[in-house]
Amino acid sequence: MTACRAYEGAKRVLDVVVAAVCLVLATPVILAVAVAIMVTMGRPVLFRQPRPGRHARLFDLVKFRSMTVPGHTDGPATDAARLTPLGAWLRATSLDELPTLWNVLRGDMSLVGPRPLLPSYLDRYTPQQFRRHEVRPGVTGLQQVNGRNALTWDRRFAYDVWYVDNRGFLLDLGILARTVVVVLRREGITAPGSVTAHEFRGSRAPAVVGAGVGAGEGRTA
């Protein structure tokens, strides 16, 4: 219990320090992106959406907007139709995530943890998959550095739960280091055949937790 508290305390300090420093250093980029969005897409600049955090408590996730507002485009309002060229570039470079550092400073999120998903998914999880909410959601996580949106949902949740059971300071540092590589390579940005990610409609079979995750791919530290 003492070691767990020490880890949680050290992780929170790391979150606050890194998020604050990154926000200050990235201020010119943040301003430039905000202006580019206003010029090409208009207001609002930021995208806000309720997401479940630790213990499934809802908070407002903040990102840069990458799509047109629904109803402002001709034709069907699909994600592919609404995603703008600037938005696609922001997603490819992960610059759309910069405002999310504010969620880290507030304590809604951590730098590392399971990605916060839609509230509508909450009643679709198996009890094992729901365990991803035992920790703060993260800007990046174990599944993001092992395939991101290219993985099946069951595989993604298996990574999330493995992280919950095996989280530690060295593992977090390893995930952060691998995130830099994944972002630079622009890997797993979208699901196959989609401009974003496929909707999670629930698992037909229990998620395979730990199989091929903990022993090999998940060892990032």
C-alpha–C-alpha distance, residues 207 and 114, integer Å: 15
Q: What pLDDT sits at residue 204?
A: 61
Alpha carbon 207 to chain centroid, angstroms: 20
Report whether 173 contacts 221 (CB < 8 A): yes
Report whether 51 contacts 90 (CB < 8 A): no
Q: Please, what is the angle between helix 2-25 and helix 27-40, to 10°?
A: 60
Q: What pLDDT sits at residue 68?
A: 86
Q: What pLDDT sits at residue 212?
A: 43
pTM of the predicted model as reported, rounded to 2 decimal places? 0.83
C-alpha–C-alpha distance, residues 203 and 104, integer Å: 30
C-alpha–C-alpha distance, residues 140 and 109, integer Å: 10
Q: Please, what is the angle between helix 85-93 and helix 27-40, to 10°?
A: 160
Q: What pLDDT sits at residue 3?
A: 76
Q: What pLDDT sits at residue 76?
A: 58
Rounded average pLDDT per 10-residue block, the chain, 221 residues: 84 96 97 96 94 97 90 65 91 93 97 96 96 97 88 93 95 94 78 71 61 37 27
Those residues whose C-beta lies under 8 Å from the C-beta of residue 101, and which sit 6 or more positions away, are 19, 22, 23, 139
C-alpha–C-alpha distance, residues 152 and 88, integer Å: 22
